[in-house]
């Protein structure tokens, strides 16, 4: 009888087909603990018992070394083989991202998306919306739900799989670092907040074409504010459009928005782009001139500045005539 049972067992072991191995994809998120990872592996069918897996990880002292990432496991692996894969040091792929001065938050989100392969909305969530309270800079007024202007422009190295919140936070931290050594005396003397200075700097960044004109543009902005004149800066209207135009229309200038400086006096509620450090410094050190007008009059980006309306109109005519 015993011989018959053994013979039958041998027969089954030889002829019984094991179920075919299959590959299962599992993603371990950053911050997940051993219990959460074990439960995920059990639900996916990689392991049969989450509790015994946790015990094995504890006994082998591997639970503290589990790495986040995307995994592909074959069915039928031992706990040892699974934990060996989960604790393997994973190479971090870095991407270089260039954020130019004058980029808007929308442009930054699109640039980050192209480099990290995440949707722009993943980044925009932390630029504008529910992510803002978690990463907002201290200078930002409580009523403003956008970090526009505080994403410092420079070349960054990010892990390609870095979380959008970490990336946006890093850019805000860079803003704080870069501006920490700037002389803010002018702001204190004029009773201007840091946020207002950053807003002025963003206007300068979008309007100035040549570096030496930044302090002159700062002077025009402050002079017009002092006189109660609307700033009438084209870049604020461009900011409201879906895409930038070569020339604004009369209809564009009538857009109802607190950012439209043709329709509103004073500064817009916040920055319209990310200013570089030179524009921030210019906003803190305007040229000692009485100009209140400027117009682009040279193909190389130079403007004509004046405090005389007739001179401004004449310069504008020359510019339109290509002289």
Q: Examine the domain organization and report whether 139 and 172 are in the same domain.
A: yes
- Do residues 189 and 316 share a domain? yes
Supply the pTM of this predicted model.
Answer: 0.74
Is residue 6 assigned to a domain?
A: no
Three-state SS annotation for 176-199: HHHHCCCCCHHHHHCCCCHHHHHH
Question: Residue 82 and residue 315: Cα distance in Å, rounded?
Answer: 74
For 19-93, where are the E strands, in sequence order?
Answer: 23-28, 69-74
Confidence grade of residue 171 (pLDDT, cut at 50, 70, 90): very high
Please tell me the distance from the alpha carbon of residue 312 to that of residue 323, in angstroms, as a whole number: 14
Question: How many domains does one find in the chain?
Answer: 3
Write phi, then psi, for 159 (nearest 5 degrees).
-65, 135
Q: For 191-238, write each residue's pLDDT tens digit.
A: 999 999 999 999 999 999 999 999 999 999 999 999 999 999 999 999
Q: Among all chains, which residue has been given the structure tokens 């995994």?
A: 71
Is there a single domain that holds both residue 141 and residue 174? yes
Q: What is the CATH number of the domain that holds 57?
A: 3.30.1490.480
Cβ(187)–Cβ(167) below 8 Å = no
Please say whether the beta carbons of 199 and 218 come within 8 A: no
Q: What pLDDT digit, counting tens, does each position of 6-43 carry?
A: 344 344 334 444 456 789 999 998 888 999 999 999 99
- Whether 275 maps to a domain, the answer reads yes
Q: Same domain for 171 and 191?
A: no
Given 30, 60, 86, the domain boundary residue is 86
Same domain, 308 and 207: yes
- Is 296 a member of any domain? yes
Q: Look up residue 247 and give its two tokens.
A: 């020339």
37: closest CA among 12, 62, 4? 62
Would the pLDDT of 314 be above 60?
A: yes
d(CA 85, CA 226): 66
Owning domain of residue 132: 94-179
Give the integer Cα–Cα distance in Å for 235 and 204. 9
Is residue 193, in this structure, part of any structural domain at all? Answer: yes
Q: What pLDDT does 323 receive?
A: 53
Do 99 and 75 sit in the same domain of this protein? Answer: no
Q: Are residues 224 and 268 in the same domain?
A: yes
295-320 mean pLDDT: 93
The answer on 289 and 213 residing in a single domain is yes
Instruction: Find residue 155's DSSP bridge partners.
Output: 98
State which of 68, 86, 104 marks the end of a domain.
Answer: 86
Distance, in Å, from the CA atom of 266 to the CA atom of 227, rounded to the nearest integer, reads: 10
State mean pLDDT over 273-301: 96
Residues 142, 67: one domain?
no
What does the alpha-carbon distance between residue 276 and residue 179 come to, in Å, rounded to a whole number?
Answer: 10
My answer on whether 198 and 301 are in the same domain is yes
Whole-number average pLDDT of the chain: 89
Of 58, 86, 114, which residue constitutes the final position of a domain? 86
First to last CA, the chain: 112
Residue 159: what pLDDT? 87
**141 and 59 fall within a common domain:** no
């Amino acid at each position: 009888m015993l011989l018959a049972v053994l013979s039958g067992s041998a027969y089954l072991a030889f002829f019984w087909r094991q179920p075919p191995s299959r590959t299962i994809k599992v993603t371990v998120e950053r911050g997940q603990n051993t219990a959460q990872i074990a439960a995920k592996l059990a639900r996916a069918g990689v392991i049969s018992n989450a509790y015994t897996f946790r015990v094995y990880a504890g006994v082998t002292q591997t639970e503290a070394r589990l790495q986040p990432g995307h995994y592909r496991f074959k069915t039928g692996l031992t706990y040892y083989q699974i934990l060996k894969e989960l604790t393997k040091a994973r190479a971090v792929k870095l991407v270089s991202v260039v954020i130019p001065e004058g980029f808007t938050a929308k442009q930054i989100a699109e640039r980050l998306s192209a480099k990290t392969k995440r949707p722009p909305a993943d980044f925009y969530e932390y630029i504008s919306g529910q992510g803002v309270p978690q990463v907002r800079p201290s200078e930002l007024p409580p009523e403003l739900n956008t970090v526009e202007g505080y994403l410092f422009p420079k070349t960054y190295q990010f892990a390609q799989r870095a979380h959008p919140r970490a990336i946006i936070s890093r850019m805000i931290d860079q803003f704080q670092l870069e501006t920490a050594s700037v002389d803010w005396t002018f702001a204190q003397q004029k009773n201007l907040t840091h946020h207002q200075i950053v807003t002025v700097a963003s206007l300068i960044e979008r309007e100035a074409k040549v570096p030496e004109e930044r302090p002159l543009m700062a002077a025009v902005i402050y002079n017009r504010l002092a006189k109660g004149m609307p700033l009438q800066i084209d870049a604020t209207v461009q900011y409201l459009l879906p895409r930038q135009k070569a020339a604004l229309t009369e209809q564009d200038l009538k857009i109802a928005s607190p950012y439209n400086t043709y329709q509103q006096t004073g500064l817009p509620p916040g920055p319209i782009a990310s200013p570089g450090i030179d524009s921030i410094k210019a906003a803190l050190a305007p040229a000692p001139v009485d100009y209140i007008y400027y117009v682009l009059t040279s193909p190389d980006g130079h403007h004509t500045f004046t405090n005389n309306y007739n001179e401004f109109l004449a310069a504008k005519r020359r510019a339109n005539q290509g002289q």
